[in-house]
């Protein structure tokens, strides 16, 4: 009991310390005491806003509207990565029929010139969105980005997937993170798709099993746990997010095809992927065999 208590305290102190060093004051989109009744209510999350008239959406386990609740909502099903809330934005739509939306907030203090920061956002593609998209990024700026500036499609976000892949992860949140060397004075972050919609690569994905509602012809994504943290406050491995070089678009299950006899044991463990049956806590039968191999190692 004493050892368990000590471990819990150590973990709590570690998590609390990192949270205090995060320059995004409300990275989990918390909105204490405020009830979400409709879409476009991102400003209920303290510190967050959208630069355009059409606002980003806020989802919550305490929402009054079923359409914007969590985990189940109008765009699918997702559990918050951090706290009780998460945000959602329109990244792309077929023939540009629906305007894109953006997330924006001010950091608790400006970035220091020459200092290195780990910038991270967690995303999940909505289950009922028909398209996975690339060109999703986070931009750091000294001045707040206005709708006029964004609509010129000239902003180049500093934080994106290293290969600008289509982000197709569903079911759980996955992180994109990069290190960023500050020029000094950056104090605003904006998240969204900043390029001409016609240059965005949108790939159709199948509707996941377990959903009866039709897919919407859009690229819609949930976001949560946004952070900007000095790297000298983190371990070296805490700003490494991409373990795979390809996007896992709409993968419910894929067979592990690695040639284990050519890899060191530690790499076999690292590269083995264990999969659960869709929307289930039960391991896929093939994954049980992979787990047995890891147990032997």
In tens, the pLDDT along 180-232 reads 999 999 999 999 999 999 999 999 999 999 999 999 999 999 999 999 999 99
- Positive or negative, the CA dihedral 181, 105, 25, 78 is negative
243-295 pLDDT, tens digit per residue, is 644 433 333 333 333 333 345 676 567 556 676 765 577 786 667 877 887 88
Mean pLDDT of the region 60-72? 97
Task: Give pLDDT, residue 280.
Answer: 72
Q: Rounded mean pLDDT of the chain?
A: 86
How do residues 95-140 score in pLDDT, each as one tens digit?
A: 999 999 999 999 999 999 999 999 999 999 999 999 999 999 999 9
Domain 23-239 has CATH 2.60.120.260: yes
Stretch 13-17: mean pLDDT: 46
In tens, the pLDDT along 37-47 reads 999 999 999 99
CA–CA separation, 219 and 128 (whole Å)? 9
Domain ranges of the chain: 23-239, 260-296
Radius of gyration of the chain (CA): 20
**Per-residue pLDDT at 272:** 67
Query: What are the beta bridge partners of residue 104?
Result: 49, 190
């Amino acid at each position: 009991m004493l050892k368990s208590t000590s471990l819990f305290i150590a973990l709590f102190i570690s998590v609390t310390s990192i949270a205090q060093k995060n320059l995004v004051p409300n990275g989990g989109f918390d909105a204490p005491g405020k009830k979400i009744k409709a879409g476009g209510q991102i400003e209920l999350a303290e510190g967050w806003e959208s630069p355009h008239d059409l606002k980003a959406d806020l989802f919550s386990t305490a929402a009054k509207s079923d359409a914007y609740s969590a985990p189940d909502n109008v765009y699918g099903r997702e559990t918050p990565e951090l706290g009780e809330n998460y945000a959602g934005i329109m990244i792309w739509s077929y023939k540009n029929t629906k305007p894109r939306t953006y997330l924006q907030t001010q950091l608790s203090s400006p970035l220091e010139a020459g200092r290195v920061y780990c910038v991270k956002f967690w995303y999940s593609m909505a289950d009922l969105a028909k398209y996975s998209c690339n060109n999703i990024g986070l931009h750091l700026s000294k001045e707040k980005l206005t709708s006029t500036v964004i609509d010129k499609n000239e902003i180049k976000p500093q934080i994106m997937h290293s290969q600008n892949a289509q982000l197709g992860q569903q079911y759980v949140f996955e992180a994109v993170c990069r290190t960023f060397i500050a020029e000094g004075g950056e104090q605003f972050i904006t998240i969204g798709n900043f390029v001409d919609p016609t240059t965005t690569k949108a790939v159709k994905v199948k509707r996941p099993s377990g959903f009866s509602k039709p897919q919407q012809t859009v690229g819609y994504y949930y976001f949560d746990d946004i952070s900007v943290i000095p790297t000298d406050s983190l371990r070296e491995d805490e700003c490494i997010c991409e373990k795979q070089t390809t996007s896992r678009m709409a993968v419910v299950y894929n067979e592990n095809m690695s040639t284990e006899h050519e890899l060191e044991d530690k790499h076999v463990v690292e590269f083995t992927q264990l999969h659960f049956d869709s929307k289930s806590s039960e391991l896929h039968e093939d994954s049980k065999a992979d787990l047995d191999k890891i147990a032997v190692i």
